[in-house]
Amino acid sequence: MLINAAPDLPQQIRQSGALHPHSGTRGSPIKSVMLTGAEIDQIAGLLSLREREPFTLIATAATLDALASNPIFGALAPELVERRVASLAEPLQLPGGLQAELFATPGKVPLYLESSTAEAGSDSNVGIEIAAGGARIAYVPGAAAVTPAMIERLARADVVLFDGTLFRDDEMIATGTGTKTGRRMGHMPIEGEDGSLAALASIAARRIFVHVNNTNPILVAGSPERSYVEQRGWEVAEDGLEIVL
């Protein structure tokens, strides 16, 4: 998750160009990057941020360890890209007046570490809560289950971005794209009595599915599954989505 600027950034700062690339050939407005895990789709984008522009990389010890075990991420030069270890539920102050906390979320270690000695600790897969100017957003792109502590945290958010990987737990098997269930991959399904729709039915926040797999029929506008989640108050994220709090 890229933290570009505070959602409550004053208009004069927006107009100053603070959200646009700095002057110079390769300037970037990105000040901080927070990671929710070390799965490929969570970290591969870092390789596109390696052009010697400074930022702070914030993640749990487990995630930073996974990065450090891959020499390729040494391309994020340590003298420019500060690694900051975040503990769970530790309040973090970010540029632009943002506050953030990482919180425990059931999940698993990245696939490419499954055969290693790495074990899924409570900090292998996390969610992020971001607050600014009295508004809160929760970002949970991967969740194998919803815990009571998560419910408590999500209930106070204005917007929840939640794991929408699969509609059905056996979807990868049914479509011939894989041999594992969603839960085996660390992702709870949307449907069913132990799916995310049921688990988060009590949340008042604006709720948006993210991390949607290309087998998930909610991606298809007008599909029965899309209607099903929309009727229950959910949205489906799309490229370029902007959220105003």
User: Does position 61 bind a copy of itself by CB under 8 A?
Assistant: no
Any contact of residue 71 with a copy of itself (CB under 8 A)?
A: yes
32-34 vs 55-59, strand pairing mode: parallel
**Stretch binding a copy of itself (CB under 8 A), from 50-58, 153-161, 162-170, 181-189:** 50-58
| Cβ nearer to a copy of itself, comparing 26 with 244 | 26
Site string for a copy of itself, 194-233 (x = CB under 8 A): --------------------xx------------------
Q: Is residue 26 involved in binding a copy of itself (CB under 8 A)?
A: yes
**Cβ nearer to a copy of itself, comparing 50 with 83:** 50
Query: What are the Cα distances from residue 193, in Å, to 145, 147, 168, 189, 203?
Result: 12, 15, 11, 10, 16
73 binds a copy of itself (CB under 8 A): yes
With binding defined as CB under 8 A, does residue 111 bind a copy of itself?
yes
When the beta carbons of 87 and 116 are compared against a copy of itself, the nearer one is 116
Q: Scanning the structure block, which residue is given the tokens 């594992």?
A: 180
Residue 80 lies near a copy of itself (rule: CB under 8 A): no
Site residues (CB under 8 A) for a copy of itself? 24-26, 40, 43-44, 47, 50-52, 66, 69-75, 110-113, 115-116, 175-178, 214-215
